[in-house]
């Protein structure tokens, strides 16, 4: 199979899985992800806080083991059970992430409003900006959009739009096993 066909098929599958996870609750039965506006106590995004991808967010990388991620001291447990657990960053912005026992960090659920991909896409970006940044973006039957993460062949971005704007943004590891 041609790489581009394989990639778009994988992206659509990831979009359907992560879209289901976002819309039906987080990893391992965690509460549904929500988008919250920045608060006055939330510090401005720094380069480490604001860059969402291509390999991770705030020093926690896709594929990193739970033990290594926990050892950073940056995350706290939200819920556990089954093959996956849900964690969030200890300090604002408090993005959530899913960690698989088998694969390590597999997804960042609901990126904070100020987070941006290296291509400049974040919550509030328009569909036009999304398609310019990711010309190969695809829409799944469930209505979520996915794009391969440039420079990371093992990851996908998942975007949920409301009207013409990105409402939620996820970064997921290929073959992740935490979505519903």
Mean pLDDT per segment of 10 residues, for the chain of length 180 residues? Answer: 38 44 39 31 43 93 96 95 93 91 92 92 96 96 94 95 94 87
Q: Residue 129's pLDDT is what?
A: 98
Could you please report the per-residue DSSP string of the chain?
--HHHHHHHHHHHHHHHHHHHHHH-SGGGPPPP---PPPTTSPPP-HHHHBB-SSEETTEETT--HHHHHHTT-EEEEEEETTEEEEEESSSS--EEEEETTTEEEEEES--TT-B-TTS--TT-BHHHHHHH-TT-EE-TTS-EEEEPTT-TTEEEEEEEETTEEEEEEEEETT-----
pLDDT reported for residue 94 = 82
Q: What is the pTM of this model?
A: 0.73
Predicted local distance difference test score (pLDDT) of residue 121: 97
pLDDT for the residue numbered 37: 31
Looking at residue 51, its pLDDT comes to 87
The pLDDT score that the predictor gives to residue 11 is: 40
> Does the domain formed by 3-34+50-173 have CATH 1.10.510?
no
| pLDDT (0 to 100) of residue 14 | 43
Annotated domain spans of the chain: 3-34+50-173
């Amino acid at each position: 199979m041609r790489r581009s066909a394989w990639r778009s098929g994988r992206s659509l599958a990831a979009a359907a899985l992560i879209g289901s996870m976002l819309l039906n609750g987080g990893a391992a039965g965690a509460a549904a992800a929500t988008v919250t506006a920045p608060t006055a106590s939330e510090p401005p995004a720094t380069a480490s806080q604001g860059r969402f991808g291509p390999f991770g967010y705030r020093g926690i990388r896709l594929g990193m083991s739970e033990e290594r991620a926990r050892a950073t001291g940056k995350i706290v447990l939200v819920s556990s059970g089954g093959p996956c657990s849900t964690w969030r960053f200890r300090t604002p912005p408090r993005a959530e992430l899913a960690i698989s026992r088998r694969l390590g960090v597999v997804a960042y659920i609901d990126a904070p409003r100020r987070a941006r991909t290296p291509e400049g896409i974040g919550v509030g970006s328009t569909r036009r900006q999304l398609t310019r940044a990711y010309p190969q973006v695809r829409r799944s039957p469930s209505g979520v959009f996915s794009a391969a993460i440039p420079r990371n062949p093992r990851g996908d971005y998942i975007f949920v739009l409301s009207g013409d704007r990105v409402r939620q943004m996820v970064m997921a590891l290929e073959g992740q096993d935490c979505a519903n």
